[in-house]
């Protein structure tokens, strides 16, 4: 009886333990089920969908670029890549090896080369590796067997056609057609057009959000390919598809979004005039280098513009580079070569190079002196070849004498306004800029010189649609105190009046100043964009000239009191002042510094200003060219024609060119001649039609 009771007691205790364990297991699985399906259910649904759903980017077409006459400057060309889809290869390994062998003979990629390990797999890039066909396909098969793997990129069309003809004999082998940029005019327009390259690391996240695909899509690295990238690039399409575990597409889940091609851009450039301008500039530089039996100049600029509309007709920056060599990929050796060239071929000297402008800058002081009443048009100032002023850094110091000489040490005698401009008389401009004894009691002064220079386009970026533009420099006492920690010296004003000292400008700013004077004070916005159209040819943005300001109508000049403190009021330039400035520039050709270079009836229709700007930069110092009293000089020349109703303005700059009239003058003259010749050809062609 006792044993019976013990057995029953034992069974009850066991039952409780078993029931507790069952309850614990049940609770655990209920909690786990709740966690998987309710608490974290959406996470696993998202993961499943991520494995099942794939977003596919469909590449768009980049817009084309043409010149003003429709001549293509940048277009899309087909590029052929040989691919293998691992899942579509024959099941028989022997047949696969035979396909590899035959393909290897055609595309010159070995069947086997290199070893596969974790490091090589992580660094692997299609079309940029040292592996054989077998290794490339192995990696592709491991990652995405139904996705075509690039074996060799950018093969010629003949090779691509052979592969396509072998489709039945080589299952799995195919041809992928992509697009690359092609530049028919190459180095002729590369400083304007630029080139494409991989998406920069700094823009990766931003462009990925906009639908760009890293490693496939390109980004503009220079020229309008860069500055107008958003207009040209278009928008990639998108497909959302369901895939199986091997990555094979099964169906579209939603309606595909088609790619939107980029817009096309018609530039204001006339490629014929561009060709003429580049040939003329290079020819003149080579002539002087040959004549002097030394490489004196290897850098120059020539720009032509319609002064009434702001349209850039030609823009030459020499030396430049061959952008077609960057079209498919950027060769490291070539990129390093042009990057290390001291003449900086990738640098657009027309808008980015800052140099002392020399005498072309005198027109700012000339206009300011008349408008401010510093001198009258017929007032004569004496030029004996030099003046001596007292150099001071503070008003109350004694100072030291300093000579300022004219390029003609014999002087020009008595000089009025027109003769001063025509002969580019330094002493005349020294006196009107800084003042001189009783002859000119108060000169224009650096503050007013700066205002008139900025009114003509100096000291600020032009706003042209190109990257990397510089603003130049119009110095003043505040700038010098902040940047150099020095007070403004008396002589700083005199030397700035003639475009030397701290004054810096870009070639396009010099061109704008000439165009503004020739256009009766109207400063037009420089532009290289004539028209923007969509992929169907519809005009999206027509050309409309934009005037930045008219210095005879829009107050741009500060009014100063007798202590040169601004009163807060502004004023304009009187129209008669501009007329005299135009007449002075016409006299440069008729009876001035450029008379010997411009002979004939056509030349007499030109208004111009010469410039010979001394400099001493790091290149000149390394070449030991900066000799006291005999510094090297840049050659400048700006002009517009016809002088009474201009339709073209041109500037030429030759680095270390020497005298502006004899070196840059012929460049400008020949470009103007080429413009009129092309105009006559177009007129005759239109009459025949």
Q: Which residues of 478-492 are buried (b: 16+ CB within 10 A; e: fewer)?
A: eebeeeeeeebbbbb
User: Which of 26-40, 121-135, 218-232, 458-472 has the least mean pLDDT?
Assistant: 26-40
Check residues 267 and 1 and name the one with the higher pLDDT: 267
Nearest to 306 by CA among 569, 680, 640, 686: 640
Nearest to 189 by CA among 318, 293, 285, 87: 318
Q: What average pLDDT does the structure give for the chain?
A: 89
Contact predicate 162/106, CB 8 Å: yes
Give the span between the Cα atoms of 637 and 657, in whole angstroms.
Answer: 11
What does the pLDDT look like over 178-211, one tens digit per residue? 888 999 999 999 999 999 988 888 888 888 888 8
What is the DSSP-derived secondary structure letter of residue 38? I
Give the span between the Cα atoms of 461 and 209, in whole angstroms.
Answer: 31
Highest-scoring range by mean pLDDT, 32-41, 88-97, 201-210, 261-270:
261-270
Contact predicate 165/148, CB 8 Å: no
Q: In this model, does residue 467 exceed pLDDT 50?
A: yes
User: What per-residue confidence (pLDDT) applies to 55?
Assistant: 73
What does the pLDDT look like over 440-463, one tens digit per residue? 999 999 999 999 999 999 999 999
Give the span between the Cα atoms of 297 and 634, in whole angstroms.
Answer: 9
Q: In this model, does residue 9 exceed pLDDT 70?
A: no
pLDDT bin (cut points 50, 70, 90) of residue 491 is very high
Q: How many CA atoms lie within 13 A of 623 on its CB side?
A: 16
Nearest to 615 by CA among 604, 601, 600, 630: 630
Q: Which CATH number fits domain 271-295+349-688: 3.40.640.10, 3.20.20.140, 3.40.710.10, 3.40.50.2300?
A: 3.40.710.10
Give the span between the Cα atoms of 459 and 470, in whole angstroms.
Answer: 9
Three-state secondary structure call for residue 190: helix
Please, which residues have CB within 8 angstroms of residue 520's CB and are 6 or more apart in sequence? Answer: 552, 575, 578
Give the span between the Cα atoms of 70 and 90, in whole angstroms.
Answer: 50
Nearest to 307 by CA among 465, 461, 516, 454: 516
What does the pLDDT look like over 498-549, one tens digit per residue? 999 999 999 999 999 999 999 999 999 999 999 999 999 999 999 999 999 9
Section 561-569 average pLDDT: 88
- Please give the structure tokens belonging to residue 483: 């940047």
Section 59-74 average pLDDT: 94
Section 564-587 average pLDDT: 95
Domain coordinates in residue numbering, the chain: 2-39, 76-183, 271-295+349-688
| φ, ψ (nearest 5 deg) of residue 631 | -70, 155
Give the span between the Cα atoms of 465 and 462, in whole angstroms.
Answer: 9
pLDDT bin (cut points 50, 70, 90) of residue 1 is very low
Give the span between the Cα atoms of 521 and 556, in whole angstroms.
Answer: 11
Q: In this model, does residue 361 exceed pLDDT 60?
A: yes
pLDDT bin (cut points 50, 70, 90) of residue 244 is low
643-647's contacts with Cβ under 8 Å and 24+ in sequence apart are: 643/518, 643/582, 643/585, 643/586, 643/589, 643/605, 643/606, 643/607, 644/605, 646/307, 646/308, 646/515, 646/518, 646/519, 646/607, 647/306, 647/307, 647/308
What is the secondary structure of 302-327 as a DSSP string? EEEE-TTT-BEEEEEEES---GGGGS
Please, which residues have CB within 8 angstroms of residue 652's CB and are 6 or more apart in sequence? Answer: 281, 300, 301, 302, 635, 636, 637, 638, 664, 665, 667, 668, 671
pLDDT bin (cut points 50, 70, 90) of residue 176 is confident
Three-state secondary structure call for residue 31: helix
Q: In this model, does residue 45 exceed pLDDT 70?
A: no
Give the span between the Cα atoms of 526 and 117, in whole angstroms.
Answer: 57
Q: In this model, does residue 569 exceed pLDDT 90?
A: yes
Check residues 342 and 435 and name the one with the higher pLDDT: 435
Section 348-356 average pLDDT: 96
Give the span between the Cα atoms of 31 and 36, in whole angstroms.
Answer: 9
459-464's contacts with Cβ under 8 Å and 24+ in sequence apart are: 459/509, 462/351, 462/506, 462/508, 462/509, 462/512, 462/525, 462/526, 463/525, 463/526, 463/548, 464/312, 464/351, 464/508, 464/526, 464/527, 464/528
Three-state secondary structure call for residue 569: strand
Handedness of CA 433, 434, 435, 436 (dihedral sign): negative
Check residues 272 and 40 and name the one with the higher pLDDT: 272
Contact predicate 83/127, CB 8 Å: no
Burial class (CB in 10 A: 0-12, 13-18, 19+), 620: middle
Section 664-674 average pLDDT: 96
Nearest to 545 by CA among 531, 520, 525: 525
Highest-scoring range by mean pLDDT, 8-17, 119-128, 157-166, 197-206:
157-166
Q: In this model, does residue 32 exceed pLDDT 70?
A: no
Handedness of CA 591, 597, 599, 605 (dihedral sign): negative
pLDDT bin (cut points 50, 70, 90) of residue 617 is confident
Q: In this model, does residue 3 exceed pLDDT 60?
A: no
Contact predicate 281/300, CB 8 Å: yes
Q: How many CB atoms lie within 10 A of CB 324?
A: 16
Check residues 327 and 476 and name the one with the higher pLDDT: 476
User: What per-residue confidence (pLDDT) applies to 143?
Assistant: 79
Section 220-238 average pLDDT: 92
Three-state secondary structure call for residue 48: helix
User: What per-residue confidence (pLDDT) applies to 311?
Assistant: 98
Section 609-620 average pLDDT: 91
Nearest to 305 by CA among 652, 659, 548: 652
User: What per-residue confidence (pLDDT) applies to 78?
Assistant: 87
User: What per-residue confidence (pLDDT) applies to 11?
Assistant: 63
Q: In this model, does residue 342 exceed pLDDT 50?
A: yes
What is the DSSP-derived secondary structure letter of residue 525? P
- Please give the structure tokens belonging to residue 645: 């109703």
User: What per-residue confidence (pLDDT) applies to 215?
Assistant: 78
Three-state secondary structure call for residue 499: coil
H or E stretch including 650?
strand 648-654
Section 614-620 average pLDDT: 88
User: Which of 107-116, 310-319, 456-465, 589-598 has the least mean pLDDT?
Assistant: 107-116
């Amino acid at each position: 009886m006792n044993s019976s009771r013990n057995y029953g007691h034992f069974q009850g205790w066991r039952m409780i333990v078993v029931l507790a364990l069952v309850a614990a297991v049940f609770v655990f699985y209920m909690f786990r089920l709740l966690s998987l399906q309710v608490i974290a259910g959406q996470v696993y649904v998202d993961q499943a969908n991520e494995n099942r759903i794939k977003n596919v980017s469909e590449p768009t077409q980049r817009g084309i670029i043409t010149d003003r006459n429709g001549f293509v400057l940048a277009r899309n060309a087909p590029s052929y890549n040989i691919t293998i889809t691992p899942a579509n290869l024959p099941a028989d390994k022997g047949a696969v090896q035979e396909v590899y062998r035959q393909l290897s003979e055609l595309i010159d990629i070995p069947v086997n080369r290199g070893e596969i390990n974790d490091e090589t797999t992580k660094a692997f890039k299609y079309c940029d590796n040292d592996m054989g066909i077998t290794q490339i396909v192995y990696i592709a098969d491991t990652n995405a067997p139904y996705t075509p793997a690039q074996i060799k990129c950018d093969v010629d069309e003949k090779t691509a056609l052979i592969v396509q003809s072998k489709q039945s004999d080589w299952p799995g082998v195919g041809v992928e057609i992509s697009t690359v940029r092609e530049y028919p005019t190459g180095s002729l327009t590369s400083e304007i057009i630029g080139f494409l390259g991989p998406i920069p690391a700094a823009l990766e996240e931003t462009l990925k959000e906009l639908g760009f695909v890293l490693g496939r899509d390109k980004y503009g690295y220079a020229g309008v390919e860069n500055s107008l990238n958003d207009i040209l690039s278009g928008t990639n399409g998108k497909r959302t598809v369901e895939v199986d575990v091997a990555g094979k597409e099964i169906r579209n889940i939603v309606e595909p979004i088609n790619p939107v091609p980029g817009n096309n851009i018609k530039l204001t450039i006339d490629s014929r005039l561009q060709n003429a301008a580049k040939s003329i500039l290079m020819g003149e530089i080579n002539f002087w280098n040959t004549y002097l039996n030394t490489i004196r100049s290897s850098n120059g600029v020539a720009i032509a513009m319609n002064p009434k509309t702001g349209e850039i007709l030609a823009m030459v920056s020499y030396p430049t580079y061959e952008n077609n060599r960057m079209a498919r990929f950027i060769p490291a050796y070539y990129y390093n070569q042009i990057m290390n060239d001291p003449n900086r071929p990738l640098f657009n000297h027309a808008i980015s190079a800052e140099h002392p402008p020399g005498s072309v800058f005198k027109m700012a002081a000339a206009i300011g002196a008349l408008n401010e009443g510093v001198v009258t048009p017929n007032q004569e100032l004496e030029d004996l070849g030099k003046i001596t002023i007292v150099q001071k850094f503070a008003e109350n110091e004694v100072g030291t004498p300093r000579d300022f000489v004219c390029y003609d040490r014999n002087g020009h005698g008595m000089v009025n306004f027109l003769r001063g401009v025509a002969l580019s008389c330094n002493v005349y401009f020294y006196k009107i800029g800084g003042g001189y004894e009783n002859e000119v009691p108060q000169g224009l002064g650096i503050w007013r010189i700066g205002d008139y220079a900025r009114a003509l386009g100096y000291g600020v970026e032009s706003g042209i649609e190109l990257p990397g533009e510089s603003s130049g420099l119009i110095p003043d006492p505040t700038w010098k105190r902040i940047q150099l920690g020095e007070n403004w010296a008396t002589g700083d004003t005199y030397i700035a009046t003639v475009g030397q000292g701290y004054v810096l400008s870009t070639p396009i700013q010099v061109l704008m100043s000439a165009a503004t004077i020739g256009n009766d004070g109207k400063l037009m916005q420089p532009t290289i964009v004539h028209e923007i159209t969509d992929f169907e040819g519809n005009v999206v943005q027509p050309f409309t000239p934009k005037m930045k300001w008219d210095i005879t109508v829009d107050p741009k000049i500060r009014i100063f009191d007798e202590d040169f403190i601004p009163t807060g009021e502004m004023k304009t330039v009187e129209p008669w002042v501009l007329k005299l400035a135009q007449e002075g520039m016409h006299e440069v050709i008729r009876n001035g510094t450029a008379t010997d270079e411009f002979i004939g009836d056509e030349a007499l229709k030109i208004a111009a200003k010469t410039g010979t700007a001394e400099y001493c930069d790091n290149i000149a110092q390394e070449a030991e060219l900066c000799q006291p009293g005999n510094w090297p000089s840049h050659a400048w020349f700006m002009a517009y024609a016809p002088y009474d109703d201009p339709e073209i303005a041109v500037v030429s700059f030759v680095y270390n060119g020497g005298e502006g009239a004899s070196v840059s003058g012929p460049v400008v003259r020949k470009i103007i001649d080429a413009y009129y010749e092309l105009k006559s050809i177009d007129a005759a062609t239109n009459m025949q039609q």
